[in-house]
Amino acid sequence: MELDKRVNGTTKLTGLIGNPVEHTVSPVLHNTLFTMMGMNGIYIPMKPDTDSLGNAVAGLKAAGFTGFNVTIPFKEAILEYLDVASEEVRLLGTANTVHIKDGRLIGHNTDGDGFIHAFRKQTGTDIRGKKVCVLGAGGTARALAVKLAIEGAGRICIINRTKPKADEIAEYINCSLAGVLKSGTHACTAAADSDEARCVLDRYDVIVNTTSAGMHPHTDSSPIKDDIRFLSRPIVYDVIYNPSETRLLRHARSKGCVAVNGAGMLFFQGLRSFEIWMGVCVPEKIVEDLLTEFLNYLTV
């Protein structure tokens, strides 16, 4: 036998806090990055109770973690525990990455950049000037809607079952971001399953699902009705990556749409988190090789 010597007293500790985390493949990405970069580090998923975020954060800080990712349902709640928030966090209102440096918790949000980078690479087109529908109004929806506005989307419609939550995001884009936006982006909202929502789904250029509908193990669910026709043949982007083809994406493909899952977004937001924690820039050759292997892994 051979002793496993990969973890020792100098190993840099990183990980993910969320609930649930059973579905995550982030450890595969980050631990492979550590190996490919020749760095002594480890990434582990952690599942604190939903009312124990403060204790979890204090524990990671006390244990000497270098940093951690944050996912559902903690992306907005984590802001309370940050010592410093990046400009991206201040604009987006959520954080998905925390760097612990000199005893201080520094919050970042790499979701928006990860989405935009993946969208361009996987669809071969840009978001500028397009009419984009965002399904959902949680932390990821807010981050992506704001990033879409900053990137110059022509119009953004946020569809959610609880319309007031969508209204809050739209108002933030239209009012609070007015001095930041240079493209004249306008945001509006619609209640899920309404006639207005159906009209948007049939006429917009891009549909982005940020809800958990269709995520493993609830793979039979979808954020839209089966009779939506997607008359404009939009690009349909589902941030879910497990399963690799959700019910929404199958439906979109059956209507002739370009359908893309969230694996690319996960990859690029994770890559940026790694670079923030480790203070490095991952070489392009490693990025390309790992992206290919990672996407192949998620489609098995």
By annotation, the residues acting in catalysis are 75
Task: Determine the residue type at 254.
Answer: S
Rounded-to-integer distance, Cα 125 and Cα 193, Å: 29
Q: What is the largest CA-CA distance in the chain?
A: 65
On whether the CB atoms of residues 257 and 229 are closer than 8 A, the answer is no
Rg of the chain over Cα atoms, rounded to whole angstroms, equals: 19
In degrees, rounded to 5, the angle at the alpha carbon of residue 78 between the alpha carbons of residues 113 and 161 is 75
Rounded-to-integer distance, Cα 269 and Cα 114, Å: 4
DSSP codes of every residue in 159-172: EESSHHHHHHHHHI
DSSP codes of every residue in 15-27: EEE-S--TT--HH
